[in-house]
Structure 1
């Protein structure tokens, strides 16, 4: 069957027709409970769902780009391999998603180098002793070096003869399972150790969770920890980054009886101090940039201007009078459809699911309203910006914790940030505006001071 539709935009007619033909093909191999394996980018053939739900998933999330042979839906698997990669080693079959596509999204400025690297470099098998890759004549900068290191791991089989996983794809998928299932660092380290014992001795798995984190970190989108006053008075940030005590007199550091006894002991080694309260800040700018750097979302970030049906019926916030009034007042902002419109939602909840335990943690989440309605309200599109710690609600002092986000939003409105749009293959100055806040009334009161 023609599978060219798998690489086309989810908004295109060819893609929708391709979904229809795929489901007709898969319907001949449904299970007894009338379900099939869902090949969308979120499920990746991990769940059995009805044809109707699979249809919705393929429209919302797209089909897994590496699932080129529909062997789970009745297609006979062929034994052909890529002629380009077979010159150096057997092709790593991308059943779990193409790791090169991920690297293209992470480092779009080096996209051209991916194919050049595959053609020019002669990656040896793990048993070989030859050079692993060719480097440019000039030393690459730090970002380019990360790209080359990750690309090397993406091309290197997990072990000799492995066709399903490269070193990088194995680490990424294992770490993804760790996050989805809430495994502790210790349990993840134990898993890695037993996998190293099970797999061949040349398996390229990290030894511990810490080593896996260092590799994952190069893919970007980390977060920063900012210490806060336990009384919610201030952040130990920027000009106060080196302060030890808040202006209210509270210490920056947590103290307990064990710490006091330890400090009285002169023979023991100095222990690392633990902050009394820690704000997790997930910088917004790189996450908005990634929406345009990713081939899966870049085109959709202009949907509100280029893909929306403007017939007077309200289907999306872009159809509202508030949006249109904003456009008329700030023409320079609305002129470029790639400028981002955001909504902000915040509320407290008890993460322990136990009403007998009194604790309230506050996530602050941003919603990119440039996306079409079937994407912008999906959990995968939500941008976690702040994680405000408990054990009690910050109440009116929430503005103390909002400082990093507010500073970013002001910069994104006044100046913007240079961003690469992979759909048009050009750089532009991306700006952003916070259009709405969404809260229940108690949180609305706190957020409004």
Structure 2
């Protein structure tokens, strides 16, 4: 199926243009993606989940219209020519995954065609082994899938095939068999020979993640010194759970809980491998308007205070400023199931405000598994990220800058976190409920319990107004008293450090704790 004009999909459904487009779509879909006399119905009601005859699909498309954003007809033969289509899912997810991959590769491939042989030789002597492997993979990935192919390269086809494996739960053996069949059918194609070869391509591209086993009660990670431990040192729970096979009655061990962690260091390094994104990483210093207006975090007091405290870090604008954000969500799309998975994201604030919050530039750091919220035990899961951030702050990492054709020692700093009030309690460790809910006022929080509604009320906000503000003397609108107290003084970092110096927190939700 070709990638022709699909503007007819936006026409009114009773027009001749829309009817002609639907008939052409059905003709191609039944030619290349049918099972018997049926195809998957892409209407808003069926959402590529149900198989129907041609007349039923045509009726649905006229009455309901196409599912939103279904412009890549992957379930109907576009780009893939297998008649045995896998069990479908919502194409919005498939499209989003593809867009994420496209966004990741877009800046990396850009401008590489214009490099001269001299620049490549010069660059080769500056790159680390991992970076050399990365560039070699990109060069190989630009090969045509087969002679004359304009739709796919070897790398892009492998990535999309790997995505389909993940989306539809294909086993590694099934994936290898499909590759073998495609190699036999298209002997001139540049396909990898097996699942392991395809996975290695993905790994070299930097799209892999680490699986770190965790205690089922969130007490600890089986990581570093505890990597080979079989039981939690806090609650004594096993790191494994047994799963039985109903057919063979055999039992196997699988990890009770797994943290998916995406290493941080290679990701900002890749930003400097493309000249255009390397320039964009200096936007906050070289191109940001400096007229006193707040357009970017670099215009704020926190950024400026950080620069004054750490002049060595701020001297090189290529050093990376990060923000962390996290929140829970239910991945099963139904409120009848109580499940909370917590992704942790990192934002790159070196970039301009119109791209730093785009999905392709936000870095997924880890996925904390459910089914319950980690609560205060989120610190357990943040350990790998904390270790990398500490290393990037203290020592940095040697990085190739494609814009200057030189290497430099890149450092990184986490400036702040972004979250709602409930997630703030988890990340900061300060309880945001009860008498002392305000992290700014801390022990000086003005709170009052309302006995009839059984809720806490916070009435001390007039303390932040100017001394001569008329609302300070307004008794009737508030609690019947004038407010003359000054605003509370926030605790400094030194004071917080001193208060927590002797504090020993035991993480986990297990009932049985280790003795001694």
So what's the TM-score if we normalise by structure 1? 0.64
Secondary structure of the corresponding residue to residue 314 of structure 1: coil
Aligned-residue offset at 1:150: 5.9
Q: 1:339 aligns with which of 288, 302, 319?
A: 319
The partner residue of 2:350 within 350, 356, 370 is 370
Residue 437 of structure 1 pairs with residue 417 of structure 2: yes
Alignment pair present for 1:185 and 2:170: yes
Q: Which residue of 1 aligns with 2:406?
A: 426
Structure 1: runs of 5 or more not aligned: 1-28, 35-42, 48-60, 66-95, 117-139, 264-270
> Which structure would you say has the larger Rg?
2
Once residues 135 and 118 of structure 2 are traced to their aligned partners in structure 1, the CA distance between those partners, rounded to angstroms, is: 8
Aligned residues: 331
1:168 is matched with which residue? 155
Give the distance between the partners of 2:300 and 2:122, measured in 1 at CA. Answer: 43
Q: 1:310 aligns with which of 274, 290, 306?
A: 290
Tell me the distance in 2 between the aligned counterparts of 1:365 and 1:405. 11
Deviation string 1:318-367 (CA, Å, 9 cap, x unpaired) is 11111112111211111111111111001111111111112111111010
**Judging changes above 3 Å, is the alpha-carbon distance between structure 1 residues 349 and 325 closer, same or farther for their aligned structure 2 residues?**
same
SS in structure 2 of the partner of residue 424 of structure 1: coil
User: Is the 8 Å Cα contact of residues 99 and 169 (structure 1) preserved in structure 2?
Assistant: no
RMSD value, Cα:
4.0
Q: Secondary structure at 2:242's aligned position in 1?
A: coil
User: Is the alpha carbon distance of 1:217 and 1:235 closer, same or farther for their aligned partners in structure 2, counting shifts above 3 Å?
Assistant: same
Q: Per the alignment, in what secondary structure is the counterpart of residue 318 of structure 1? A: helix
Give the match's secondary structure for 2:304: helix
Q: Which residue of 2 aligns with 1:201?
A: 187
CA distance in 2, matches of 1:162, 1:405: 42
Aligned equivalents of 2:118, 2:249: Cα separation in 1: 55
Q: 1:194 to 1:355 in 2, by over 3 A?
A: farther
Take 1:166 and 1:342, find their aligned partners in 2: how far apart are those partners? 34
- 1:400 aligned residue: 380
Within the candidate set 372, 396, 411, 1:416 is matched to 396
Q: Which runs of 5+ in 2 are unaligned?
A: 12-68, 74-98, 430-516
Aligned equivalents of 1:97 and 1:312: distance in 2?
Answer: 34
**Does the C-alpha gap of structure 1 residues 441 and 299 become closer, same or farther in structure 2, counting only changes over 3 Å?**
same
User: Partner residue of 1:225?
Assistant: 211
1:215 equivalenced with 2:201 (yes/no): yes
Kindly indicate whether the alpha-carbon contact (under 8 Å) linking 2:342 and 2:370 is maintained by their aligned counterparts in 1. yes
Match of 1:3 in 2: none
1:287 shift after superposition: 0.8
In 1, are the aligned partners of 2:107 and 2:277 still within 8 Å (CA)?
no
